[in-house]
Amino acid sequence: MARLRRSAEIADFSSAGLARVFGQEGFVPETGVLPPEVEALDSSHPLRTLIPLFLLELPVSRTDAQRVVDVAELAALGLVEDGDPVRPLWGFVPSGDAVFVSDREDGGGADHVMGVTPSSALLGNLTLRGPVRRALDLGTGGGIQAFLLNGHAEHVVATDVSARALDAARFNLALNGVSGIELRQGSWLEPVAGERFDLVVCNPPFVVSPAGRYVYRDSGLHADELVQRLVAELPALLEEGGTAQLLLSWVIRDGEDWPDPVARWVSGNGCDAVLLRYRIDDPAGYAAHWNRGDAQTADEWTRWYEDELGAVAIAYGALALRRRPGGGGFGAAEVVSDRVVPASAHVERLLAAQALLSTATDEDLLDHRFALAPEHRLDQALTSSEGAWLVERAVLRLRGGLGFEAEIDAFGAALLARLDTGLSLRAVLEEALVDVGRPRAELHAAAVPLVRGMLERGFLTAR
């Protein structure tokens, strides 16, 4: 494994190396097809061999493969079938500074082990990354989240119902030089019953489907019942102040707004909750997304959604829960669907805001001090009128994290700038009485909802 990892490093088989070939970060080529960017590489370039073999699931000549790796050792590890040509048996995909094995597109059957996917990248980017004592990766699959947790947790437990997935996780952790993670087999909370953790992450089989084809995708439970159960049961695994983060899909029925179902699930569970919605599809669109190239199955799923579930839409997103005495705040926000960047600090601000806003009265907020998020930026569009520049539109943006933005007027912009100096909201408004010339009650009525909204979306944080 050490030699294999070293061969990958020498060959620049990394996220950065792939970005140099394809011209963009995170590009995933279609399997079974040799893209022109790879075809254009010199035949002696190591990636001219490794990309087809491990990313594209294509056979390569034994001579070419042997120049880059020890083919006999790869065969002994079960990654390839030795011969001429050499044929891949598993995928071998770089992500950041690590490399993970996963099943080929048609491999593994019901116990198919996924690699680094958009959903695993999303969960990894949303996960809080502060130091913790005990962390749990619930449903670890190939061990990607467990690998990430190892960087900031003293002890990591990773569970999965699939022995095959745990074998892949064990391989991946060893391949990347990680030891000490405790792998346990069992269904959901059974392997950790009675234990508590500071941080729990979970990328469950969240797809709302009438089928039970893949363990990683289909829960086997009705509709969105699995994520309902997880939302109800995860708080029991958390230490006070602990956080659970999971991905989910949920059904929206006639007369419901998109956050309503999840708001019902979290009600009374003793946690503050933040729901982030990344996409929402009508039943036909959702069915087509999960059954690409299979129109008949997509039609069957669509009828099931509409006739049996009464669904008008199905949403996909992420939920963060923080256990707290008296917890019960709930916030929801839409996020741009293709935005997958590190957002740990932003999620932390959103959870902290719910803890404050669920109990703080308007009078309480007046005596708080606030600061703007470090990544804020105010963009203004101006037009010339009678020899002066007039602000036509002003947008406050968060350049990092979840990338939220909000239109803001001159009063709001001035208020936030003054708050960022460390003054209380009450003190800032007292200053504004003279400058703005509006009654105190009117200023308070305008400022407090603005501050609440800015806190809810992470533009502001309480000092």
Looking at the structure, do residues 252 and 137 belong to the same domain, yes or no?
yes
Strands (E), 408-456: none
Q: Last residue of a domain, which of 299, 332, 357?
A: 357
Looking at the structure, do residues 171 and 317 belong to the same domain, yes or no?
yes
* Whole-number percent of the chain with pLDDT over 90: 78
The pLDDT value recorded for residue 106 is 79
The pLDDT value recorded for residue 401 is 95
Tokens coding 30: 């279609």
Using N-to-C axis directions, what is the helix angle for 410-419 and 440-456, rounded to 10°?
70
Q: Residue 294: count other Cβ atoms within 10 Å of its Cβ.
A: 13
The pLDDT value recorded for residue 263 is 97
The pLDDT of residue 339 is above 80: no
Rounded Cα distance, 80 and 85, in Å: 10
The pLDDT value recorded for residue 48 is 93
Looking at the structure, do residues 73 and 151 belong to the same domain, yes or no?
no
The pLDDT value recorded for residue 84 is 94
Looking at the structure, do residues 456 and 329 belong to the same domain, yes or no?
no
Looking at the structure, do residues 242 and 341 belong to the same domain, yes or no?
yes
Q: What is the reported pTM?
A: 0.92
Question: Within a domain: residue 104?
Answer: no
Average pLDDT in the 59-82 region?
93
- Per-position DSSP letters for 81-109, written without gaps between them: E-SSSBEESEEEEEETTEEEEEE-TT-SG
The pLDDT of residue 25 is above 80: no
Question: Within a domain: residue 230?
Answer: yes
Question: Within a domain: residue 31?
Answer: yes
The pLDDT value recorded for residue 76 is 94
> What are 235-244's pLDDT values in tens digits?
999 999 999 9
> What are 271-306's pLDDT values in tens digits?
999 999 999 999 999 999 999 889 999 999 999 999
Average pLDDT in the 240-256 region?
96
Looking at the structure, do residues 340 and 222 belong to the same domain, yes or no?
yes
Question: What share of residues in the chain are helix, strand, coil (percent, to 5)?
Answer: 40, 25, 35
Rounded Cα distance, 91 and 114, in Å: 9
- Could you give the dihedral angle defined by the CA atoms of residues 232, 337, 450 and 462, in that order, rounded to the nearest 10 degrees? 60
Element (H, E) at 41: none
Looking at the structure, do residues 206 and 61 belong to the same domain, yes or no?
no
Rounded Cα distance, 431 and 29, in Å: 58
Q: Which domain holds residue 458?
A: 363-462
Question: Within a domain: residue 102?
Answer: no
pLDDT band at residue 336 under the 50/70/90 scheme: confident
> What are 396-442's pLDDT values in tens digits?
999 999 999 999 999 999 999 999 999 999 999 999 887 777 888 99
Looking at the structure, do residues 353 and 393 belong to the same domain, yes or no?
no
Question: Within a domain: residue 103?
Answer: no
The pLDDT value recorded for residue 95 is 87
Looking at the structure, do residues 451 and 320 belong to the same domain, yes or no?
no
Q: Last residue of a domain, which of 59, 92, 125?
A: 92
Looking at the structure, do residues 177 and 276 belong to the same domain, yes or no?
yes
CA distance from start to end of the chain: 48
Most confident stretch, 51-60, 86-95, 153-162: 153-162
Q: Which residue has the tokens 């709302």?
A: 208
Q: Last residue of a domain, which of 299, 324, 357?
A: 357
* Whole-number percent of the chain with pLDDT over 70: 100
Rounded Cα distance, 218 and 208, in Å: 7
Question: Within a domain: residue 20?
Answer: yes
Average pLDDT in the 122-133 region?
97
pLDDT band at residue 27 under the 50/70/90 scheme: confident
Question: Within a domain: residue 267?
Answer: yes
Question: Within a domain: residue 97?
Answer: no
The pLDDT of residue 51 is above 90: yes
Domain count along the chain: 3
* 347: CATH: 3.40.50.150
Angstrom distances, CA of residue 14 to CA of 26, 48, 96: 11, 14, 7
The pLDDT value recorded for residue 30 is 79
* 438: CATH: 3.90.930
Looking at the structure, do residues 159 and 273 belong to the same domain, yes or no?
yes
Looking at the structure, do residues 289 and 428 belong to the same domain, yes or no?
no
The pLDDT of residue 31 is above 90: no
